[in-house]
Amino acid sequence: MSKRNDQDATPAASAPDASAAPAVDLNDKAYYIHRELSQLQFNNRVLEQALDEHTPLLERLKFLLIFSSNLDEFFEIRVAGLKSQLAFGHEIVGPDGIPPKQALAEISDIAHRQIARQYGILNERLLPELYQHGIRIVRRKSWTVAQKRWVQRYFRQEVAPMMTPIGLDPTHPFPLLVNKSLNFIVELEGVDAFGRDSGLAILPAPRVLPRIMRLPDEICEGGENYVLLSSIIHAHADELFPGMEVRGCYQFRLTRNADLTIDPEEMDDLARALRGELSSRRFGDAVRLEVADNCPKPLTDYLLKQFGLAEAELYEVNGPVNLTRLFGIVTRSDHPQLQYPPFVPAIPKALKKAEDLFQVIGKQDVLLLHPYESFAPVVDLVRQAAKDPAVLTIEQTLYRTGANSEIVDALVEAARAGKEVVIVVELRARFDEESNLSLATRLQQAGAMVIYGVVDVKTHAKLMLIQRREGQKLQRYAHLGTGNYHSGNARLYTDYSLLTSDSALCEDVHKLFSQLTGMGKLLKMKKLLHAPFTLKKSLLDLIARETTHAEAGKPAHIILKINALTDAKIIRALYKANAAGVKIDLLVRGMCCLRPGIPGVSQHIRVRSVIGRFLEHSRIYWFANDGEESMYLASADMMERNLDRRVETGFPIENRKLRQRIRKELDLYLSDTATTWQLHADGNYSRLQSGDAQSPHDVQQQLLEKYCGIGAPKPAL
């Protein structure tokens, strides 16, 4: 039983009935969904989690804030990209046939409704429920005398010394404001000491100060009481303009284009070019203006004019313009009953008492499913390699690792111990560029050889190769994963890790590192699929093989678990497989440009999206293959950028027991009724609802119980 939820539905052409036509044109734009509009649909599914009564209250708040963070990046990158296409007259129209101007109009319409709904959920549902549990954001009008005194003291001692009021006049033009910074536009009356009476000023909030503070318990009546920096500045803005009357003070925030553009023809050092670009990210072209909904129209018009934005790019909000700063409440609150229960990731039986990981991996492949199984064995493998005198070389790709990475610590130790350490660092991992520049420098200073990959092709593969002298033989060990070498993400994202000593697979990994670090013709791989060379072609061949089986009257089935599906060639291949009768199950967490359920085109295709406690990040490609199943784990989603413009890998799972294990886990996802959304032919998603006679199946909870022994959280009363 499913329940349709068309809130913020993406406008879409009605699906044609192909049965009336002698042949189906798979290039028909009606069969494709615009990728940015699909991304907004995903963000709406995240927002819906804030209303899920089965989710602990503080986690619901977290989903609401993740919605804000996702939307920020959407405007900074995707909307900025569409605006740039218009500005430079280089419009790109995808298979859906929607030009950038139309897409921007539809994005504006949907985003305005989503944001209004977000603040409604915050003000009408979450804040009142938090209040019932003693967690309060205390508004100015509710401050007690003691709280007012504390706020005034805090303002005068901590805030005012950091403030730089900017009066607007011919000698003080409108300031260049940092991307996503909190600011205030202030209406003034009176004449200052220099005789100026422009009537307007800008107050940038100090970026070094927290946006939310907890009030001392002794001036409150129990519970946790917080006050916003914006409220503190509002209450005391008049102190920043002595002798002037503050007639109005209104918060606003500007979102800018944050994408980095580096011209490969004018670049001789990627690291140096990237450092130059990072400073400009904070001051890119304006793409969105958020203002308090009580800001007078003349002031919002004035701001729009200053930033060169249209009315459709204005977002008036009923609350703080910088909602992501409320993460402080989630991290500081001591209310375990309002949060997901903690868990300890499992250690596989083969590794539990192992003192020598090389000995274990030398005998058998080890598969880890994060976060249910620990990421520690991967870290321990690098640590052991760093200390082991028999280890000669360590080669590894790094895309996202985190600021304080245990993996990098071990690699530094290995390099200082005199081992050959070769690291391919992807400097262009979005929003991690600065961190990656820093870790690259640290590794170089330790003696590691650091390579920045290939110009114009991001290195997104997750690979590690260790070479060890064992007697007269050089033995290789590899780690291949679907996720990054980031211990923090391994607690929040679902990903697979394969630890192996398979000689052919390790040889393929060695060849790939050789291609990345050196120069030469394409090296033939035995087992590894790799983009931008063989991965896409192999996927198309695997889909075609399943199509052939169906045409021969054999049972045929494809299951793909990925984060996004936008590549038109892959979609057309799936449509052809559907026409032949192949059953196709797609688990696509985010963007999906394929329309399922269209008669004659995609009636055998089912698309589902799982949104839950953990971010579904693993990529699995499974093909029935007439009883001789094929299975690959991969670093790549089915997007043009992954398959055509990145270094990605897909690696086979050949061990029968491991394949069966992953297949059973896929079945759990396909039977989930608690966290699953289903995509319909019109481009809208509806949440699956279990029938009254059965309890909902929650795949993430089932995996927690299986691996960690953790039961379902009980809603707080």
Q: Is residue 324 located within the same domain as residue 361?
A: no
Say whether both 224 and 315 belong to one domain.
yes
Chain position carrying tokens 């699953």: 676
CA distance 380 to 355: 10
292 and 375 in a single domain? The answer is no
What pLDDT sits at residue 260? 56
On whether both 304 and 444 belong to a single domain, the answer is no
Crossing angle between the packed helical segments 376-387 and 406-416, to the nearest 10 degrees = 10
70 is in an annotated binding site: yes
Note whether 319 and 374 are same-domain residues: no
Mean pLDDT, 10 residues at a time, the chain of 717 residues:
42 40 83 97 97 94 96 94 90 94 97 97 97 95 96 96 87 84 92 72 92 94 94 95 92 88 46 49 82 96 96 96 90 87 94 92 97 96 96 92 85 94 79 71 89 83 96 96 92 97 97 87 92 96 98 97 97 98 98 97 97 97 96 97 94 97 97 96 89 73 93 58
Q: Write the CB contacts of 163 (distance below 8 Å, at least 6 apart in sequence).
A: 203, 204, 206, 233, 240
Domain membership of residue 448 (yes or no) is yes
Examine the fold and report which residue of 299, 334, 369 is the final residue of a domain before the chain moves on: 334
Q: Is 222 exposed, middle or buried (0-12, 13-18, 19+ CB in 10 A)?
A: exposed
Domain end, chosen from 478, 502, 524, is at 524
Look at residue 630 and tell me if it is in a domain: no
Same domain, 420 and 506: yes
Ligand-binding annotation for 617, yes or no, is yes
Question: Is 589 annotated among the ligand-binding residues?
Answer: yes
Strands 166-167 and 212-214: unpaired
Instruction: Count Cβ atoms within 10 A of the Cβ of residue 13 and give its class: 0-12 exposed, 13-18 middle, 19 or more buried.
Output: middle
pLDDT for the residue 716: 54
Sheet bearing 212-214, strands edge to edge: 135-137, 224-228, 212-214
Q: Is there a domain that residue 588 lies in? A: no
At 500, which amino acid appears? T
What residue has token string 């398979």?
Answer: 502
The C-alpha angle 43, 47, 52, rounded to 5 degrees, equals 140
Sign of CA dihedral 655, 661, 664, 665: negative
Q: What is the token pair recorded at 365?
A: 């492949």
Amino acid found at 451: I
Angle ∠(274,277,282) on CA atoms, nearest 5: 135
Beta strands in 453-565 (DSSP E): 458-459, 462-470, 473-481, 493-500, 529-531, 557-562
CA distance to 48, 568, 606, per residue, from 10 (Å): 16, 19, 19
Task: Report the distance separating Cα 77 and Cα 370, nearest Å.
Answer: 29
Q: Locate tokens 């969904």: which residue?
A: 33
396 within some domain: yes
Q: What is the rounded CA–CA span in Å between residue 444 and residue 456? A: 23
Residue 274 CA to residue 263 CA, distance in Å, equals: 11
Is residue 467 situated within a structural domain? yes
Residue 360 is assigned to a structural domain of this protein: yes
Instruction: Identify the pLDDT of residue 21.
Output: 44
Tell whether 604 is covered by a domain: no
Neighbouring-strand partners of residue 652 = 632
Give the total number of structural domains in the chain. 2
Whether 165 and 241 share a structural domain: yes
How far are the Cα atoms of 42, 80, 288, 427, 597 from residue 593, in angstroms, in the given order? 12, 20, 25, 29, 13
CATH of the domain at 426: 3.30.870.10
**Residue 475: strand pairing partners:** 468
Residue 218 CB-density burial (10 A; 0-12 exposed, 13-18 middle, 19+ buried): exposed
Helix axes 656-670, 699-708, angle to 10 degrees: 140
Local structure of 365: helix, strand or coil: coil
pLDDT on residue 11: 39
The whole-model pTM stands at 0.91
The rounded distance, in Å, linking the Cα atoms of 125 and 91 is 42
Give the pLDDT of residue 261: 56
CB 646 within 8 A of CB 459: yes
Contact present, 513 and 395 (Cβ < 8 Å):
yes
CA distance 24 to 19: 9
Q: Which residues span the domain enclosing 384?
A: 349-524
Q: Are 619 and 639 in contact (CB under 8 A)?
A: no
Ranges of H-type helices in 88-162 = 100-121, 127-132, 145-154
Separation of alpha carbons 355 and 587, rounded Å: 38
Same domain for 480 and 393:
yes
684 is in an annotated binding site: no
Strands 200-204 and 212-214: unpaired
Same-domain status, 273 and 386: no
Domain check: are 298 and 387 in the same one?
A: no
Per-residue CA distances from 542 to 16, 562, 641 (Å): 28, 16, 20
Is 621:641 a contact under the CB 8 Å cutoff? Answer: no
Question: How is residue 42 written in tokens?
Answer: 């995903």
Catalytic residues: 460
Same domain, yes or no: 320 and 369: no
Residues 310 and 421 in one domain: no
Q: Report the CATH number that the domain containing residue 255 is assigned in CATH.
A: 3.30.1840.10
Containing 699, the helix (H) or strand (E) segment is helix 699-708
- Residue 400 assigned to a binding site: yes
β partners of residue 584: 558, 605
Q: Do residues 320 and 183 touch, judged by C-beta distance below 8 A?
A: no
**Structural contact between residues 498 and 482, judged by C-beta atoms closer than 8 angstroms:** no
Alpha carbons 587 and 478: distance in angstroms, whole number? 28
Instruction: Spell out the SS3 assignment of 620-668.
Output: EEEECHHHCCEEEEECCCECHHHHHCEEEEEEECCCHHHHHHHHHHHHH
C-alpha span between 553 and 406 (Å, rounded)? 53
Residue with tokens 């313009």: 321
| Element spanning 317, H or E | strand 314-317
- Name the nearest CA neighbour of 514 among 470, 458, 451, 445: 451
Cα separation, 665 vs 702, in Å, equals: 10
- Final residue belonging to a domain, choices 305, 334, 363: 334
Assess if residue 110 is contained within a domain: no
